[in-house]
Amino acid sequence: MSFVPQIGIYIAIIPPAILALVQFGAIESLSVVIGYLLIDGIINRSIKRQYFQRKLNVSMPVIFISLVLWIWVLGSIGAILAVPMAMLVQALLASRKDTLWIAYLMGGGQNLFEPDVVTDAVEREDEEK
């Protein structure tokens, strides 16, 4: 469940914490929770954020808004589908020259906004169809 943005780690901590509490006691259970939070914090701050913004070209605020929206619409399944749905919406917006600027605003900021280059590519694709 740790792959669900923002709330997944808190859901993922519950089973190991309960198992450590039952098998070893409260101190070991607390150390498991602290270890999970430290490891997840390091991964979220360094690796995952850069991966989402650079590789997927979706900014973190867009991911969070998508998470809230899709949880509201689809419940817990929406939490799993939030990032793919944000990418889908961004791809759909990028496919039209009228909404290309919205797709750019949703991105991580790595790609330069060159409307002439993109407009030419979209027009070529329309002509080929």
Containing structural domain, residue 117 = 57-129
Among the three residues 36, 55, 74, which one is the final residue of a domain in this structure?
A: 55
Q: How many domains does the chain have?
A: 2
Q: How far apart are CA 79 and CA 64, in angstroms?
A: 10
Q: How far apart are CA 107 and CA 79, in angstroms?
A: 20
pLDDT tens string 101-112: 888 888 765 555
Q: Give the three-class secondary structure for 99.
A: coil
Give the pLDDT score at 128.
65
Among the residue ranges 79-83, 98-102, 114-118, the one predicted with the least confidence is 114-118
Co-location of 76 and 109 in the same domain: yes
What are the CA-CA distances from residue 93 to residues 23, 97, 105, 126 (Å)?
Answer: 52, 8, 11, 15
Co-location of 16 and 73 in the same domain: no
Co-location of 47 and 95 in the same domain: no
Co-location of 10 and 22 in the same domain: yes
Co-location of 51 and 73 in the same domain: no
Residue with tokens 């929770």: 33
Q: How far apart are CA 64 and CA 9, in angstroms?
A: 15
Give the pLDDT score at 123.
61
- pTM of the shown model: 0.54
Give the pLDDT score at 64.
85
pLDDT tens string 3-61: 566 677 788 889 999 999 999 999 999 999 999 888 887 877 677 666 666 677 788 78
Q: How far apart are CA 88 and CA 63, in angstroms?
A: 12
